[in-house]
Structure 1
Amino acid sequence: MKTLANILLGCVILKAIIAAPSRQGRQLEDLDTYDAANYDVDLENLNVENQDIYDYDDGLTIDEPQIEIGTLPPIVDRRPQPRPSRVDEEDEVPLKPLPPAQSSGGSELLGPDTQGGLPTCLLCTCLGGSVYCDDVKLETVPPLPKDTTHFYARFNKIKKINKSDFAEMNKLMRIDLTSNQITEIDEDAFRSLPALEELVVRENKIRQLPELPHGMTLIDASHNNLGSKGIKPEAFKEMSNLLYLYLTDNNLDHIPLPLPHTLRSLHLQNNNIQMIHEDTFCNLKDINYIRKALEDIRLDGNPINISKTPQAYVCLPRVPVGRLY
C-alpha cells in the first residue's frame, strides 16, 4: 500500500510540473515577430524532456526539466516611436546657402571692381593695407579699398593721374608709380591726401609736378621731363618733414629753392644746372649757421664747376658731389 501511495503521489506531482509553462515558453510569448527560416529551433515542436528520478528508499526527488538549447530570433520592438520634438525637427532642417556676393560693387575682401569688372584685389595683390599692382598692364589707376595705406603700380601703362583716382583715400601714405607712361597729373590729385608722405613717380614723362601735401618725407620724380618750368616756385618751402628729394634727369636749369632745413639728401645729377649761389644752401646773414642735416648732395652730370663757388658750401657737413674743374 505504501508503495502504491508513493506512485500515485509522484504521478500527481509530475502532471503538475508538465502542465506549468516553462521559462522558455514565456519568452516566446513576448516575441512580436521573428523569421523562423533563419533559426534552427522549431518553436511549434519544441520538445521539453523531463527526466524523473524516483528514490524509493529516501523518497521522491525531481530534477529541473531538460530543455534543448537553440538560437532564438531577436526581439523586435513594434511599439510606436515618439515623434521628434519641434527643436529636433529644426535641427534637421538643412542650412540655406548664403547668397553670392554682388560683383557690381566688389566686396570688402576683394576690393572694388575695376573698369574691366575684375575686383582690384583679384587683379592685384592686397596684403593688409598694401596693394601691389606691378606689371599687370594697367592703363588707369584701379579703384582702391578705402583702407589702403601703400599703393604700388610699377611697370604699367598708366598715362594720366586724375583727381578722382585717389579721392577720399585718407589713409594712403605711399604711392609708387615707377616706370609708367604718365604725362599729366591733375593739380588736385595728391593735395587732399592728409596721410601721404612718399611719392615715387620716377621713369615717366611728367612735365609738371602738382601741389603736394606739406607732410611729405620723400619725393622721387627722377627721369621725367620737368624742364625749367615743371616745378613751381617755392614748391618745397612748407614741407617741414621732407628728408629725400630726388630730381635726377629732368633737364632742370636751377636748384628749386628754398629747401627745407630737414632735407638730408638732394639728388640733381644729369640736369642742366649751371650756377650755384652762395645762399643756395647757406645763410649769408648768419655766419654761424650750419645745415647739419643735408649730408648728401649730388650735382654730377651738370655743366657746373662747384670749385668756383666755395662759399656756397661752408655751412654743409660735406661738399657736394660734382665736377671740380
Structure 2
Amino acid sequence: MRMFVRLVFGLFVLRAAVASPRFSRQVDLDTYDTYEVDLDNINLENQDTYDYEDGLTIDDPQIEIGTLAPPDYTYPEKEVEEEEEEEEEEEEQELPLKPQLVPQGSGGSGVLMGPDTQKEEGLLPTTPKTPQEGAGTVEGSVSSELPEPEEPDEPDEPVIDTRGMPTCLLCTCLGGSVYCDDLKLDSVPPLPKDTTHFYARYNRITKINKSDFASMNKLKRIDLTANEIKSIDEKAFLGLPNLEELVIRENHVSQLPALPETMTLIDASHNNIGTKGIHSEAFKDMTALLYLYLTDNHIDYIPVPLPDSLRSLHLQRNNIQMMHEDTFCNLKDFNYIRNALEDIRLDGNPINLSRTPQAYVCLPRIPIGDLI
C-alpha cells in the first residue's frame, strides 16, 4: 500500500510537469527509499531535472503514463509469519499421540487421545474396576472412601405394664366382646363381668388358672390361639355355664381339661395331646357338640363314644392305628343311621380303613383316609 501511494504521487507530479514545462518545484516528501523512475523521451524546454529527496528523478517526459507498472513488492514480515505458522502445524502433526486414561464416569470411553495431555503418571485419578455381580472381591481393588450408610436401629418394642391397668384400656372392648390380640400378654387379664366373647390370640400366655374365668356366667367363646400354654387347670372351664366354643390351637397343651356339656365347638389342634391326654368318655354328654378338631397331635385312638349331634371330626396326622366296627354305628340296630356325621378326616394316620367295612354302614359318607 505504501508503494502504491508513492507511485500515484509520482504520476501526479509527472502530469503537472507535462502540462507546465516551466513549472518546477522541489517536492518535500517523507521518505522514498530506493526506487527511481527514469523518463528518457520527455522533451522539456528548459531540460529541467526534478530531483526528489527520496531519490526519484524524471529524465524522459515522453514515456506513456499507462505503461508504468508497479514493481513486485512483498512483505517479508508476513511471509515469515506464514512460514512460522506452517512449521508449527507440521510440528503438531508430527507429535506422537499418547493414549491417556480418563476416570470412569467422565462421559468418555476411558481413553483420551492427544499430545502431552498427561506428562506424568498419576495426575488423573483412576477409578478401580468394579467386580461383576456374583464374583468375589478382586485383590488390590481400592474400596470406596465414602462411608456406608448405617442402617437405622430398629426401635425397641414398647414394654407394656399391664398390672393394675383396666382391661378395656389395654384391650379393645366392643359390647360383650374383648379383644386382646397380639399385646404380648403373659397371663389372662381381668375381664368385665358381662364379657361374652374373649380373644387373646398371639400372646405369651403360658398357663390358664382356675381364677382366670371365675364367675364369668355370660362367657360363650374363648379363643387363645397361638400362645405358649403348657398347662390348664382341670376346672378352669367347668364353672362357665354358657361356654360353647373353646379354641386353644397352636399351643403346647398335653392334657385336655374337663369341659361343660354345653360345648358346640372344641379346637385343640396343633398341640401335644397324647394317649392319656383325653378323659374317658369326655364327649359323651355333650349333646350339642358339632365340631371336634384334634388335628396334629399324638392321639392313637378315636375318642368314643361321640354324641349323635357331631357333624365334623378331624383327627388327621395323629397316630391312630385301628378302629372298631361299632366306633360310629350300632351293630345291634341296623336301622340306625348317623346323618349328621358327614365329615370324618383320618388321613395321615397309620390305619387301613378297608379292614373295617362294617364300621361305615350307618354313615352318609366314608371317612377320608388310606384304604390300603
What is the TM-score normalised by the length of structure 2?
0.56
> For 1:127-138, what aligned pairs fall within 5 Å after superposition?
127-138=174-185
Residue number in structure 1 paired with 2:306: 259
**Aligned with 2:166 (options 79, 103, 119):** 119
Structure 1 distance, partners of 2:347, 2:201, is 27
Whether 1:228 and 2:275 are equivalent positions in the alignment is: yes
Residue number in structure 2 paired with 1:203: 250
Structure 2 distance, partners of 1:117, 1:183, is 25
User: Equivalent residue of 1:234, what SS?
Assistant: coil
User: RMSD across aligned C-alpha pairs, in angstroms?
Assistant: 0.9
Give how far 1:115 is off.
4.8
Residue number in structure 2 paired with 1:141: 188
Equivalent residue letter for 1:175: I
Whether 1:187 and 2:234 are equivalent positions in the alignment is: yes
> For 1:5-44, what aligned pairs fall within 5 Å after superposition?
none
Whether 1:160 and 2:207 are equivalent positions in the alignment is: yes
User: Equivalent residue of 1:297, what SS?
Assistant: strand
User: Equivalent residue of 1:317, what SS?
Assistant: coil
**Aligned with 1:301 (options 331, 348, 355):** 348
Give how far 1:117 is off.
2.3
> For 1:260-299, what aligned pairs fall within 5 Å after superposition?
260-299=307-346
User: Equivalent residue of 2:313, what SS?
Assistant: strand
Unpaired segments ≥5 residues, structure 2: 1-160
Equivalent residue letter for 1:245: L
- Using the aligned pairs only, state the percent identity: 76
Structure 2 distance, partners of 1:222, 1:239, is 19
User: Equivalent residue of 1:151, what SS?
Assistant: strand
User: Equivalent residue of 1:311, what SS?
Assistant: helix
Structure 2 distance, partners of 1:165, 1:305, is 43
Aligned residues: 212
**Aligned with 1:239 (options 277, 286, 289):** 286
What is the TM-score normalised by the length of structure 1?
0.64
Residue number in structure 2 paired with 1:213: 260
Structure 2 distance, partners of 1:201, 1:178, is 5
Whether 1:311 and 2:350 are equivalent positions in the alignment is: no
Structure 1 distance, partners of 2:365, 2:182, is 39
Equivalent residue letter for 2:331: L
Equivalent residue letter for 2:334: I
Structure 2 distance, partners of 1:170, 1:293, is 30
Give how far 1:290 is off.
0.4
Equivalent residue letter for 1:280: T
Give how far 1:309 is off.
1.1
Kindly indicate whether the alpha-carbon contact (under 8 Å) linking 2:274 and 2:297 is maintained by their aligned counterparts in 1: yes
Equivalent residue letter for 1:270: R
Structure 2 distance, partners of 1:306, 1:138, is 44
Structure 2 distance, partners of 1:188, 1:312, is 35
Equivalent residue letter for 2:271: N
Distance 1:135 1:115, change over 3 A: closer
4+ residue segments displaced more than 6 Å? none
Cα deviation 1:138-184 (Å, max 9, x = unaligned): 10000000000000000110000000000000000000000100010
Structure 2 distance, partners of 1:124, 1:149, is 15
Structure 2 distance, partners of 1:205, 1:306, is 30
Kindly indicate whether the alpha-carbon contact (under 8 Å) linking 2:162 and 2:170 is maintained by their aligned counterparts in 1: no
Kindly indicate whether the alpha-carbon contact (under 8 Å) linking 2:283 and 2:305 is maintained by their aligned counterparts in 1: yes
Structure 1 distance, partners of 2:370, 2:180, is 40
Structure 1 distance, partners of 2:278, 2:296, is 14
Unpaired segments ≥5 residues, structure 1: 1-113
User: Equivalent residue of 2:237, what SS?
Assistant: coil
Equivalent residue letter for 1:117: G
Give how far 1:294 is off.
0.2
Structure 1 distance, partners of 2:256, 2:285, is 16
User: Equivalent residue of 2:217, what SS?
Assistant: coil
Structure 2 distance, partners of 1:227, 1:130, is 33
Residue number in structure 2 paired with 1:31: none
User: Equivalent residue of 1:252, what SS?
Assistant: coil
Structure 2 distance, partners of 1:307, 1:278, is 11
Task: Select the structure of larger CA radius of gyration.
Answer: 2
Give how far 1:123 is off.
1.1
